[in-house]
Structures are given as C-alpha cells and as structure tokens.
Amino acid sequence: MRIGALAAATGATPKALRHYEDEGLIGSTRAANGYREYDERAAIRVRNIRHLLSAGLTLADVRCFTHCLDGDMTTAPPSPEGLRIARERLAVIDARIAAQTEARNRLAGALDRAEAMSAEAGASAGVGVSVG
C-alpha cells in the first residue's frame, strides 16, 4: 500500500510515517515510480507506535519495543523492560508537571501581588471601578 493508504488506515500523517521510517520503526520498498510501498504489517506497527506515543512514550522509548510492534500490544501482557521504560517515562513526566506547577504558582503569586498593588494604588488615588 502507498503512504496515503497507510496514513488513512492508521490515522497517522504521511509526514509522521516518513519520520517513523527515518527512525527505523517501519520499512518500505520503492516502486518503479519512486513511491513508497508498505506491506500490510506496517499498519499494525504504526497503530502500535501511535498507541505507545499516545501513552506518553517518546520515539526513543518506542525503539525499545521494536521486537513486539507487529503483535497486538493493547492486549499482550507487559514485559519487565516495557514496565521499566514506562516507569522511567512517568518519572520524567511527573518532574515536568512539578516544574510547571511551580512556575504556575510563582506566576499566579506575582499576578496576585501586582493586582493587589494596583488596587491599592487606585484606592489611594480615589479611583474606583463601578460594576453594574
């Protein structure tokens, strides 16, 4: 099947498929006209790649799963290596969330202080806001 058909069958974009191929996760042959041709197994691999990416893994993480990308990963029992990789990725995501939460809290605090200063300045100048 050509790249457009594979994209339609998997929900991936042709650009993503070319990227997966560049990363060695899927393969193709070239037709006489230069078009990429994928076999039917490529759709299963792409669906599995997308499943892993949607779970929060990176393409580097997905490379560790190349030996099982051709099966039904959604129902297969997880391997110890797969669990290790998922735990490591979860720790990275948790650290990013914590860092973003800290940044958000700092910004919210600075905004609260700035708004309080603005309100005090307006009140001392006799300027009020009418709502109604």
Where residue 76 falls among pLDDT bands split at 50, 70, 90? Answer: confident
Same-domain check for residues 70 and 8: yes
Torsion angle (degrees, nearest 10) of CA 39, 68, 59, 49: 50
Rounded distance, CA 97 to CA 94, Å? 5
Q: Are residues 116 and 87 in the same domain?
A: yes
Q: What is this structure's pTM?
A: 0.76
**pLDDT tens-digit readout, 85-95:** 999 999 999 99
Q: Does 27 fall in a domain? A: yes
Domain-embedded: residue 23: yes
130: in domain: no
In this structure, the answer to whether residues 16 and 44 fall within a common structural domain is yes
Structural domains counted in the chain: 2
Asked if residues 52 and 65 have their Cβ atoms less than 8 Å apart, the reply is: yes
Q: What percentage of the chain reaches a pLDDT higher than 90? A: 78
User: Is 132 among the domain residues?
Assistant: no
pLDDT at position 127 is 54
Tens of pLDDT, residue by residue over 5-40, are: 999 999 999 999 999 999 999 999 999 999 999 998
DSSP-assigned letters across all residues of 43-93: HHHHHHHHHHHHTT--HHHHHTTGGGTTS-TTTSPPPHHHHHHHHHHHHHH
- Give the range of the structural domain holding residue 64, as residue numbers without chain letter: 1-76
